[in-house]
Amino acid sequence: MFFFYTTYVTHTVGQIKPGSTGPDKIIDLGSLGISASCGAMMFVPDGFAGAGRLKIGIYSTSGWYDMTVTPDGSGTFDIVDPAYITNTGGGPEGAVYIADYNPKFDVDSLLISRYASGDVIAYEIDTNGDPLIATQRTFISGLVGAMGAAIDPETGQFLFSTFGGTNHVVLVKGFTTPCPADVNFDNVVNIDDIFTVLGLWGPCPE
């Protein structure tokens, strides 16, 4: 599994290839015109608008950026065409996408952990996978240093961490368990899923 990560203060994106014991590539985000310094980073998952696009949230300014990545010929990737989209407020430090079949989520949405404001905020997303700020609603408040965010691929449960005072990993239950047979993520298992698998038939990339 290829690993991307951000570094705060030094304001970079690092990349580690499978089998490597250290960074294989480091990109200075400031050189791309992205304001310092970065916090949250995620790729939009399959099944969501904007799937495959890279999103970076800036802790210091609360800016939200959209971009793509392309192979650089060395087994790593370049960041291409970064664009400022909006301001989420609160110092974003983690984000996950939530499908519209989950309870209390009528449309595909985004949860953002905000360190400075000590909360997790839900936003509906637009056709590019970016948060629609006008749809903002509080998911969890009263936290100390809300940071990273993840979805358990087996259970669909939401996890995030806190830093400063509590230093906890928090598990939020009540989300819908993913269906592994729904390979095209449309919340239905049917012939379209079979066609998706057939379209990918053959050897897996190394």
pLDDT tier at 1 (50, 70, 90 boundaries)? low
Residues 118-138 have a mean pLDDT of 98
- What is the average per-residue pLDDT within 68-81? 96
For domain 3-199, say whether CATH 3.40.1350 is its number: no
Of 46 and 159, the one with more pLDDT: 159
- Is the pLDDT at 206 greater than 60, yes or no? no
Long-range contacts of 131-136 (CB under 8 A, 24+ apart): 131/64, 131/86, 131/88, 133/86, 133/87, 133/88
Query: Where in the chain are the domains?
Result: 3-199
What percent of the chain shows pLDDT beyond 70?
93
Between CA 107 and CA 104 the distance in angstroms is 9
pTM for this entry: 0.88
